[in-house]
Structure 1
Amino acid sequence: MSDCIFSCPDIDSFCLLDRLGLRVEAQSVGPDRAVLACRLYRAESWCESCGASGVPRGTVGREWVHSPYGSRPTILQVRIPRWACKACGRVWRQDSSRIAAPKRRLTVLAAWHALKLVVVDHMSIKSVAQTLGASWHATFQAVHDLGWDQYLSDPTRFDGVEVIGVDEHKWAHTTGVEQFVTVVIDLTPVRKRTGPARLLDMIPGHSKKVFKAWLAARPESFRNSVEIVSMDGFTGYKTAVVEELPDAITVMDPFHVIALAGTALDQCRQRIQQATLGRRGKTGDPLYGARKTLRAGQGYLTKRQWDKLEDLFADENHVCVEVTWHYYQQMITAYREDNRKTGEQIMQHVINDLAQGVPEGLTELRRLGATLKRRAGDILAYFKHPHSSNGPTEAINGRLEHLRGIALGFRNLPNYGLKDKLCVWGG
């Protein structure tokens, strides 16, 4: 404590009212809220029309919600002077824009406090409104205006974007509304290792038309700067990129490639289960009991799990599952290979194998092979551009789900999009 310098208590400084040009004259502190009666530091009585000095014409009372005084919601009661000009007859009210934005309930500092709670602390608008002692609408409007002015309306927000990720996200689980949005992520900071990915936009719908229209609406400088687009297996996104960004490289994300193979493995297991036992799997069935072991990477299998697979594959009825599992593991190995050239060769070998003469009994592998052959260029492009993974896009999708959960769901897509953009920006 010896290094501390103390001065007389000053409530103006404590509540940061001096930054708003206010001085406290009286206070009423109750258990639920604090009310501070304030006045302006300086009276500005000059007429903007003719420059003459005005004469007092009474005051107008205003109330604003301020940053909390300790743990209590704080209300500012301010008397705003009115003036009249004898020279030109003009009557005006003293400017209070330093205190709060016009027609807004929250002070400038309260608006910044609310934005911080939403962006950094990930609080819902309802919780922030309760903290401030304001209405939901007033709080949301303050966060909307300040967030839009400071960050979302920045014309340079799309500058320098070289790698983007695109994916769909289900924001609503009710009928009567567009349930999906297309999420566009800037992956450039991840590629350059300068920071995390950031949310660029959320577009209602998830189709080729939606994404193509969004790309077409971007300035030419943006479209020329995008070098790589990472995506899932949806051909609509691929076609939109080919038509609007002909020079960009399309990369199919490893997560979605492995998901295709995993789905083929599950479908093969389920089909053989029905063919051999005539029912869906249940406890005690070999295939059903090994469903999780089959999906695990072979590098993580324990001896007990290897023994379970050996017993499973010893049954001739399970040959299709064994072959499908073999290619599934090869694809995982390709992505886990430290040497990218070797990984590319393994993946190319898998694509070539599945594109040529797969027996008719291997229905799922034939279907998987057709998909891999059709998207071979996008799949192999990952090995030349390893920092273009759509992993950060999936991570941001997870954060969007978390934010929706905090708010117990959203019914208004613009409000949802605004909060997501602000929160992902602040994360």
Structure 2
Amino acid sequence: MVNHLSMTRIAAALDVAWNTANHAVLAEGQRLLIDQPSRLDGFTGFKAATTEELPAAAAVMDPFHVIRLAGDALDVCRRRVQVSLHGSRGRKHHPLHQNRRTLHAGADLLTDKQQGRLDALFADDRHVEFEATWGVYQTMIAAYRTRSRTEGKKVMTRLIDAIGTAVAISLVEVATLGRTLTKRRDDVLAFFDHIGSSNGPTEAIHGRLEHLRGTALGFRTLTHYIARSLLEAGGFRPDPHPGL
């Protein structure tokens, strides 16, 4: 089935033999799923499934999820420092809590006012651990924003090497991030070698599946579930392909 069309209908529409249409569809699937890279998010289950089912595919870890790992480490470090200083994860009058959104922005996009607030924040020696973690986060962003992918790969490689080996014992979050990036090193760096790889189609399919799962939730009989699935996919049209 392709876009709700059987192989027989595809062959009839193209006026070719069934085997010819079938080979063409399989060749396109080979191109999209195996010859082209498969971009992944940070969940290792997707990598395991891809490796098992598509051993020839190139695994590429999506930049969004790589930055998300660093952003999560930044948030964990911020809350840890706030607890050690103030006994809570953050109140509105605490400097780290006040600037929590600004701290996630790229350094090259900060306004003069925002930069001034961060300079004052990092002037406090009690925030030195957080400043180091923030520096790692910014370096990772800079690697993806370089004009040359070759240069970006060099920046990312140096970063992974630096935080994956010798890290100060006080930088707990950086050490954890370093171990994760070292483990997924090949997937992270593969992004710079495969131009145009995108996780968009995969996320789009996930979105449709999640919506279907939610709308069909609670139906106990197969007939009702099939009806809901057809409604989701537009299968109740009397003639879904009038042009054929």
Fold agreement, TM-score > 0.5: yes
Query: Counterpart of 1:248 in 2: which secondary structure?
Result: coil
Amino acid at match of 1:151: N
Deviation, structure 1 residue 241? 2.4
Distance (whole Å) between structure 1 residues aligned to residue 227 and residue 94 of structure 2: 49
Change in Cα spacing, 1:418 to 1:309, as seen in structure 2 (3 Å) is farther
Q: Residue deviations 1:237-293, cap 9 Å, x none?
A: 212322332222111111111110100000000100101100121111101001000
Distance (whole Å) between structure 2 residues aligned to residue 414 and residue 259 of structure 1: 37
Partner in structure 1 of residue 139 of structure 2:
330
Larger RCO of the pair (alpha carbons < 8 Å, separation 6+): 2
Change in Cα spacing, 1:302 to 1:237, as seen in structure 2 (3 Å) is same
Between the two proteins, the alignment pairs up a number of residues equal to 214
Does the CA contact (< 8 Å) of 1:257 and 1:379 recur in 2? yes
Deviation, structure 1 residue 418? 4.9
Distance (whole Å) between structure 2 residues aligned to residue 368 and residue 415 of structure 1: 46
Larger Rg: 1
Provide TM-score, normalisation by structure 1.
0.46
Partner in structure 2 of residue 72 of structure 1:
none
Query: Counterpart of 1:230 in 2: which secondary structure?
Result: strand
Does the CA contact (< 8 Å) of 2:37 and 2:59 recur in 1? yes
Amino acid at match of 2:152: G
Deviation, structure 1 residue 399? 6.3
Percent of pairs with identical residues = 43
Provide TM-score, normalisation by structure 2.
0.77
Change in Cα spacing, 1:392 to 1:323, as seen in structure 2 (3 Å) is farther
**Pairwise mapping of residues 170-209 of structure 1 onto structure 2 (< 5 A)?**
188=32
Change in Cα spacing, 1:418 to 1:377, as seen in structure 2 (3 Å) is farther
Amino acid at match of 1:346: V
Deviation, structure 1 residue 421? 5.3
Q: Where do 5+ consecutive residues of structure 1 fail to align? A: 1-147, 164-187, 189-221
Query: Counterpart of 2:39 in 1: which secondary structure?
Result: strand
Q: Where do 5+ consecutive residues of structure 2 fail to align? A: 8-21, 220-224
More helix by share: 2
Change in Cα spacing, 1:371 to 1:152, as seen in structure 2 (3 Å) is same
Partner in structure 2 of residue 298 of structure 1:
107
Change in Cα spacing, 1:417 to 1:329, as seen in structure 2 (3 Å) is farther
Query: Counterpart of 2:60 in 1: which secondary structure?
Result: strand
Deviation, structure 1 residue 386? 2.6
Distance (whole Å) between structure 2 residues aligned to residue 153 and residue 289 of structure 1: 55
Partner in structure 2 of residue 151 of structure 1:
3
